[in-house]
Structure 1
Amino acid sequence: MTIIQDIQARELLDSRGQAILECEVTLECGALGRAVAPVGVPKEMRDGDERRFGGRGVGLSLSHVRDLISTPLRGMDGLNQVGVDRALGNLDSIGGNSSFGVSLAACHAAALALEIPLCRYLGGLRGSRLPDPIVTLCRSSSGSRFGEFLAMSRKTGMRFKDKLRMLSEFSQGLLREFENRGVRFNQGFEGIDVLDVMDCDILDSMRAASEYCGYSLESDVAFGLARPLPLDMTTVESRSEGLQELLKEYPITYVELDWVKDEIASLSEALKGILVCGVSSSCNGRVVEMSSATTVTELLGKCDEVRCGGRKLVFSACGACGCDDSSASELSIAVGAEHVRFGSLFRSENVLKYNQLLRLEEMIS
């Protein structure tokens, strides 16, 4: 009943009008799993034909799903996810988007066949706790030492829906504060983009917005920073000193740093009590992107590696699937992530992932 009967794929559009790949896996019992391949997966395959989508079409991936993937996977047990993913890994030059799309679609089909949510199918008992949201408030392309400014709830024991409501109100309050201060901003692909504004001015606006919303920076909300300036735009000494200044002045509890081990270790005192995410072993957290693997099994393995290493797991799907696919919400629960990063609350493709977590909270509780 759970034997893979058919595999199909189609070319869709994401929220930017760019081509993306959607895959379908159908089991003998009639269960049909559907998933969109994340943008930016390893070995992602694009057509290169400038006459279609400026060379970014996925026609080759479509043909690979139908011609190279469908035949060897047809007849396999859809509940054998490891076996399905191993078979995908043994196929040469099929493209990471084709591989991950089919792998995730097979997961959806299997969960439907068993009549359980995807988070429970992949996560078992682990798939019963919702991660805490870290929301992107705004992005800066110039004038600041960090490219992303984030917010998160300090509340423990609060339901996900209340934390999300708090951050939504905070986001709206920041818009109002930018307007009052005459800050130049626009609605970009990833939310609010501010232009030529110093990071201190952005953080001051965030502080004022929290006061306007009636939230305490000691007990209700906290700030986060991501995407620090690369070394070709600053120096090691300058960016270390700049971060220390911000940590002293503002209630920052989360930082993403792609710095080397020694540089982070030199700030150990300033970073005490802060969740620092990066690849360095000096970091106490790690961000795992949904688009960082070519199969679901590989993605689960990356997440397990972080957790087994004693670090906090932040599951991210910022810009990974700019369309109406909320698989990332279920995956974030399945991998047992402590935090989730889906971007801002100003884009529908981000909001639908947060909304799916609201539905899952009702189901789990």
Structure 2
Amino acid sequence: MGLMIKIIEIHGREILDSRGNPTVEVEVTAQTETTGKKTTGRESVPSGASTGRFEAIELRDGQERYFGLGVQRVVDHINTKIRKELLGMNVLEQVQIDRKLVELDGTDNKGNLGANALLGVSLACARCAAAALDMPLYRYLGGPNAKKWPMPMMNVINGGAHAKNYLDFQEFMIVPVGAESFPDALRMGAEIYHFLKKILQKEGKLTAVGDEGGFAPDFSNAGEVFACLQRAVEEAGYKVGSDVAFAMDAAASELYSEEDGMYHFPGEAQTHAEVDVNLRRPDTQGGAYTSDAHVKTQETTEKKEILRSAQEMISLYEELTTEYPLISIEDGLDEDDWEGWQELTKRMKEQVMLVGDDLFVTNVKRIRCGMDLKVANAVLIKVNQIGTLTEAMDAIELAQKNGYKAIISHRSGETEDSFIADLAVAVNAGWIKTGAPCRGERTAKYNQLLRISETL
């Protein structure tokens, strides 16, 4: 019989996340049978703003308290139903714990107890187990083969659902691909971030930050953003392409309309209406990618509505990839446009990482479906999309065994918790998205990776 470290207490509470909204924090306490030693692990649950339709359900209380966003009902589930079932279990048996949680919920989408309830308990159990064994969390999760630091994909320009500006695409990232160590990668990213701020200030653009720490200025299109990032990289003393590459999260499901099957770009249309520019292809300064888009003049206003088909979206990405060192495109098309994704993958899989986020939602069933249809070549991993650590690690394993990249990701609503930093190292993911090198809930992950890198 193996070592028994029995769960003796589970306690959930309501705390605030980085957006000032309620979220769940869980403490799990376990006692080692042979020594009587007690250990506690604490974890908190993030929350997304741009969420996929197929994600596990995040339960909220509704009604007036916290504008309906309270999680007291979820906390009650943790402190009653879940606590009752898990007390006495061995905290080292992560798979059995997570299986029990899934069975206790009894739904495919975690809609009974809430994915936020299940995940808080699941992660806290892992944290508690690692502490009980006096092991770093990444080593407990990954074993002796956990040895690879992840390349940071730093979101330095925010748009879409993450910022109240005209930029329709959601995230624009710098990736310090030329770094030889994680400290070097972080330093490069931070330096470029500050040069970017100076450039924006010089041009009179807004330098307030969005949900993930990136700046949220008004650019009219992606070409303008990448041109600005290119300037920041060069002014920081690095070479575009060899030292630093770019990535983007299109969050195309947020732009897609089922009514007409088109992708709508209201911000791009607004900036065109305001500056009254001619539609043109991009030049070296970054132009407006609208020459191959549908442009519809509305009778009630002079503002032109800019629409793109799936084919036009793919053509846009091809142009951007030709013009700039763009190595990763996340959610390039709608989460249900499997046919479009097939065409996107066929045309671009050799040039860039085509990352499924809303497409896959860290769900093994949807990832398998995507593999069967030969769509995408990378999977974004967000633990709260699926609800338990075991299910998230199953998704990572499936991706890696089938030649898909796995990118560990934060959410726009985060906490000071650093679990995903350890997870990225534990599974040798090679890539992590955790925002700009700014704001405590983002730097908590980066600083943990600095600590871990000293031991690798």
Calculate the TM-score normalised by the size of structure 2: 0.75
After superposition, where does 1:24-63 map in structure 2 within 5 Å? 24-28=27-31, 29-40=37-48, 42-50=56-64, 52-63=65-76
Find the counterpart in structure 2 of residue 243 from structure 1. 317
- SS of the counterpart of 2:170? strand
263 and 60 in structure 1: CA distance in 2 versus 1, 3 angstrom threshold: closer
How far has the Cα of 1:232 moved from its partner?
A: 3.5
Return the match for 2:354 from 276, 279, 283.
276
After superposition, where does 1:262-301 map in structure 2 within 5 Å? 262-264=339-341, 266=343, 268=346, 272-278=350-356, 279=359, 280=370, 281-301=374-394
CA distance in 1, matches of 2:23, 2:343: 43
1:191-250 Cα shifts (integer Å, max 9, x gaps): 211224332222111111111111011321011121244334132233222222211211
The letter for the 2-side match of 1:359 is: R
CA distance in 1, matches of 2:82, 2:59: 14
1:303-344 Cα shifts (integer Å, max 9, x gaps): 111111111111111325x22211111112223212000011
7 and 266 in structure 1: CA distance in 2 versus 1, 3 angstrom threshold: closer
Check if 1:255 corresponds to 2:329. Answer: yes
- SS of the counterpart of 1:24? strand
How far has the Cα of 1:185 moved from its partner?
A: 4.2
Return the match for 1:198 from 221, 238, 241.
221
Find the counterpart in structure 2 of residue 165 from structure 1. 187
Return the match for 1:180 from 202, 214, 228.
202
Find the counterpart in structure 2 of residue 138 from structure 1. 157
Find the counterpart in structure 2 of residue 100 from structure 1. 119
CA distance in 2, matches of 1:127, 1:42: 28
Find the counterpart in structure 1 of residue 175 from structure 2. 152
Return the match for 2:7 from 4, 9, 17.
4
CA distance in 2, matches of 1:67, 1:174: 49
How far has the Cα of 1:346 moved from its partner?
A: 2.3
CA distance in 2, matches of 1:99, 1:264: 32
Find the counterpart in structure 2 of residue 323 from structure 1. 415
319 and 222 in structure 1: CA distance in 2 versus 1, 3 angstrom threshold: same
How far has the Cα of 1:59 moved from its partner?
A: 0.8
CA distance in 1, matches of 2:76, 2:185: 44
CA distance in 2, matches of 1:97, 1:147: 24
CA distance in 1, matches of 2:382, 2:56: 11
Would the aligned equivalents of 1:185 and 1:195 in 2 still touch at CA under 8 Å? no
CA distance in 2, matches of 1:173, 1:288: 30
CA distance in 2, matches of 1:183, 1:137: 14
The letter for the 2-side match of 1:302 is: A
When the two chains are superposed, the root-mean-square deviation of aligned CA atoms in Å is 2.0
Gaps of 5+ in 2: 32-36, 49-54, 106-111, 257-261, 265-306, 360-369
Check if 1:332 corresponds to 2:410. Answer: no
How far has the Cα of 1:126 moved from its partner?
A: 3.4
CA distance in 1, matches of 2:415, 2:347: 42
The letter for the 1-side match of 2:187 is: R
Q: Is the deviation greater in 218-227 or in 102-111?
A: 218-227
The letter for the 1-side match of 2:15 is: L
Would the aligned equivalents of 1:318 and 1:341 in 2 still touch at CA under 8 Å? no
Return the match for 2:23 from 1, 20, 24.
20
Check if 1:353 corresponds to 2:356. Answer: no
CA distance in 1, matches of 2:131, 2:451: 17
Find the counterpart in structure 2 of residue 90 from structure 1. 103
CA distance in 1, matches of 2:435, 2:411: 5
How far has the Cα of 1:49 moved from its partner?
A: 2.7
Return the match for 1:123 from 131, 138, 142.
142
Q: Is the deviation greater in 84-93 or in 110-119?
A: 84-93
CA distance in 2, matches of 1:329, 1:64: 28
179 and 288 in structure 1: CA distance in 2 versus 1, 3 angstrom threshold: same
How far has the Cα of 1:146 moved from its partner?
A: 2.7
Check if 1:302 corresponds to 2:325. Answer: no
- SS of the counterpart of 2:174? strand
Would the aligned equivalents of 1:140 and 1:197 in 2 still touch at CA under 8 Å? no
The letter for the 1-side match of 2:392 is: L
How far has the Cα of 1:45 moved from its partner?
A: 1.6
Find the counterpart in structure 1 of residue 435 from structure 2. 343
How far has the Cα of 1:84 moved from its partner?
A: 1.0
56 and 145 in structure 1: CA distance in 2 versus 1, 3 angstrom threshold: closer
CA distance in 1, matches of 2:120, 2:170: 30
Return the match for 1:220 from 243, 246, 250.
243
How far has the Cα of 1:2 moved from its partner?
A: 0.7
CA distance in 2, matches of 1:202, 1:174: 11
CA distance in 2, matches of 1:348, 1:9: 23
Q: Is the deviation greater in 56-65 or in 90-99?
A: 90-99
How far has the Cα of 1:119 moved from its partner?
A: 1.0
202 and 314 in structure 1: CA distance in 2 versus 1, 3 angstrom threshold: same
The letter for the 2-side match of 1:257 is: D
Give the structure with higher Rg (CA): 2
Gaps of 5+ in 1: none
261 and 55 in structure 1: CA distance in 2 versus 1, 3 angstrom threshold: closer
Check if 1:209 corresponds to 2:264. Answer: no
The letter for the 2-side match of 1:45 is: L
